[in-house]
Chains A and B, each alone.
Chain A
Amino acid sequence: MDRPTLDTLVSQLAPEVLALCVRLCGNVHDAEDIAQEALVRAARSHMGFRGDSSLKTWLFRLAINAFRDHIRRRKLTASALDADLETDSESPAQMAVGRETAEIVAHAVSTLPRRQREVIALTVYEQLSTREAAEVLGISEQNVRTTAHEARSTLRRKLERLLNDTRK
């Protein structure tokens, strides 16, 4: 792939990178910072893209790495996010009174532990296969499956009321 084509494709994929970052962070400002960092890294290390994986996978990997660095810098550890959620006085049902279900679900996803959030964002929202998600995250496919299972259990617990309402 020649460099001008690569530049064009990266520009086209920029919105998808931003969307992934929004799902990982849960807010637009941090997401834009992370996406910018990922694209700057892509611009600097474009020679590092050898075409072994798809361009989208490569960009997502850069975004995930930028996200992890961002968390490390801001000390927004997964446990802190969990603590925020646990100390949230509102139950999902109570929150539903004032907020739409869609926002509650997004909040629940964005406050998952970091690794679980990454797996859900990649497999559910970015529709990557287990193999592609494993490649992006640098873990085994089995690890992806296990983490996805844990993430779904966590989400079921957090969204129990809403799920019961849906069943009714």
Chain B
Amino acid sequence: MNLGPDQTPDPLNELLRTARFPAPDSQAADRLRAVYTSERLRVRRAARNRRILIGALTTAAAVVALVLMVRSIPSGGRNEMVHTDVPPSEPNQPPTAPIVSANQPSTNRSVREPSPYERLLVARPRQVSAPPRENVPPLNAEAAELMNRLRDPLVSNRLDAARDLGAFAADPQVATRLLNLARNDPGVAREALAALSFAGDAAFAGLDSDERATLSRRMKTAAAVLAEHTRKGEPQ
């Protein structure tokens, strides 16, 4: 027994040795051990559940990352393995993504067989972000000529072409083409919108309300530009 710092015999130390504290019953220590053991089991179970949860989350994150990686691979890599159909596009139209047909018979397939990873790419074709291309029937000759003038960069004043094209803008075929130009070709978007302003409801066919509102606003601006242009062009 530690007798204190001075280590000299002290009656107090003798007296303290004789102290008799209340004695716990014989089962008390066993109860304490049982409490400790059950708590340890509970903590261990909780830790295991936490590990399982973390593992599941990690796996899910890895799967999501893999899917994003697969979707972000450019479609050009897949064209080497499979036959592609590239639809003809009009001048000044944005390039349309090739349509990948995985089940088409391979007439010009390359000599090597695709790897499982490449098969996975083919099995899950990437969504292209370009707008869907409408199947537009051919225009009549005069409208086609005006449309060419509108898109021709050498034409000095395309607003004239836009004004003349306004006479045809109610035609759904013309309206569809003008709409595509307004969406995709910043170089002639203003002229296309100005021409579309003559189209009335035909200009908004197939548009959702947001795009309709946006387009309507832009059309008003373009129509004002065209009106100003027309006013200046009139003989004084």
- Which A residues form the contact surface with B (CB < 8 A)? 7, 10-11, 14-15, 17-19, 22-23, 26-28, 31-32, 35-36, 39-40, 42-44, 46, 100-103, 105-106, 109-110, 120, 123-125, 127-130, 145, 148-149, 152, 155-156, 159, 162-163, 166-167
Given A127-B1, A130-B5, A148-B5, decide whether A22 and B16 contact each other with a Cβ distance below 8 A: no
Say yes or no for B107: interface residue by CB 8 A criterion. Answer: no
Cβ of B10 to closest chain A Cβ, rounded Å = 8
Q: Which residue of chain B is the closest to A31 with respect to CB atoms?
A: B24
* Pairwise interchain contact B20-A106, C-beta atoms closer than 8 A: yes
Contact, CB under 8 Å: A28 / B36: no
A11-B37, A22-B24, A43-B42 given. 10 additional CB < 8 A pairs?
Answer: A14-B33, A14-B36, A18-B28, A31-B24, A32-B24, A43-B39, A43-B40, A123-B4, A125-B1, A127-B2
Contacts of A23 in B (CB 8 A): 21
Residue B141 CB within 8 A of the other chain: no
- Residues of B near any A CB (own CB < 8 A): 1-2, 4-5, 11-16, 18-25, 28-29, 31-33, 35-37, 39-40, 42-43
User: Are A18 and B22 touching (Cβ within 8 A)?
Assistant: no
Distance A101 CA – B43 CA, assembled complex (angstroms): 45
Provide a sorted-by-A list of 12 A–B residue pairs whose CB atoms are within 8 angstroms: A14-B32, A14-B36, A18-B32, A28-B22, A28-B24, A32-B24, A46-B40, A102-B18, A109-B19, A123-B2, A124-B13, A127-B1
B31 touches A11 (CB 8 A): no
A49 to chain B, nearest CB (A): 13
Could you tell me the distance in whole angstroms from the C-beta of A107 to the nearest C-beta in chain B? Answer: 9
